[in-house]
Amino acid sequence: MARSAALYRMVMPKHLCPYGRKSKWLLEHNGYQVEDHPLRTREETDDFMRKHEVETTPQAWIDGKRIGGYDDLRAFFGKPLPDAETTSYTPVIAIFAVSALIALAIFAFAGGPLWMVLPHFAATAMVLLGLQKLQDVESFSTMFLNYDLLAQKWVPYGYVYPFLETGAGLLMIAGLLPWLSGPVALFIGCFGAWSVFRAVYIEKRELKCACVGGNSNVPLGFVSLTENLVMIAMGLFTLTRLFVI
């Protein structure tokens, strides 16, 4: 027989609590028969929280013992959410994986030599990494200032950088204006690589990387250095093709 659990969650005309829905699904997914108690008004919700001396809903009980809200339920089932300060490479992995798939899709559609998948992958990664930064340019520029030498000399560079990286990557994917995209990638890549190398490997500073935006928990080091080395390689590759072909 399925074990039972009691769940109290907000189900109001103008607010259906998403964490309540997630909690209900999580309990059912783990084999519990849920005794659902929807809180349909603000007054009903406030009375519930006062009675049980809690500050948030939803709240779940299992075998008569209060487990807590959605985060507490995940921890109870052995799948706690990562702490806000926990280092996570998930955004970087996702970006590189999607970049590889897009590069393969370009190859499947446009054809050409198989080795061109690699520069398409690199250019797409530049665009996606730039997009991450463009979501919150202010936060990115603040984190970027902690280590980038050019931004420390000229603050507006931190605001311009995401546009340069994204623009250069788009031009490279399209094969347009190589005389512009190549030097831009080479320029920002060289300054970036030296800045990261100096901050991490010479000064031994422990900083967060702004490579996936200003709110990331990726430590400054290998990932950011790789991003800049890839841009250097793409800059040289683009300029070489411009003069050779």
* CATH assignment of 3-76, among 3.30.499.10, 3.40.720.10, 3.40.50.720, 3.40.30.10: 3.40.30.10
How far apart (Å, rounded) are the C-alpha atoms in residues 207 and 228?
Answer: 17
- Tokens 């250097």: give the residue: 232
- Tokens 């074990």: give the residue: 3
Q: Cα angle at 34 between 31 and 40, to 5 degrees?
A: 150
How far apart (Å, rounded) are the C-alpha atoms in residues 245 and 242?
Answer: 6
DSSP code of residue 82: P
For 33, the 3-state DSSP assignment is strand
Tokens of 70: 């959605």
**Residue 170, exposed/middle/buried by CB under 10 A (0-12, 13-18, 19+)?**
middle
Q: Where are the chain's structural domains?
A: 3-76, 90-244
Structural element, H or E, at residue 37: strand 32-39
Contacts of 139 (CB under 8 A, 6+ apart): 213, 214, 215
Q: What is the pLDDT along the chain (245 residues), one digit of tens a residue?
A: 568 999 999 999 888 999 999 999 999 999 999 999 999 999 999 999 999 999 999 999 998 899 999 999 999 999 887 665 566 677 888 999 999 999 999 999 888 889 899 999 999 999 999 999 999 999 999 989 989 999 999 999 999 999 999 999 999 999 999 999 999 999 999 999 999 999 999 999 888 888 777 677 777 778 888 889 999 999 999 999 888 75
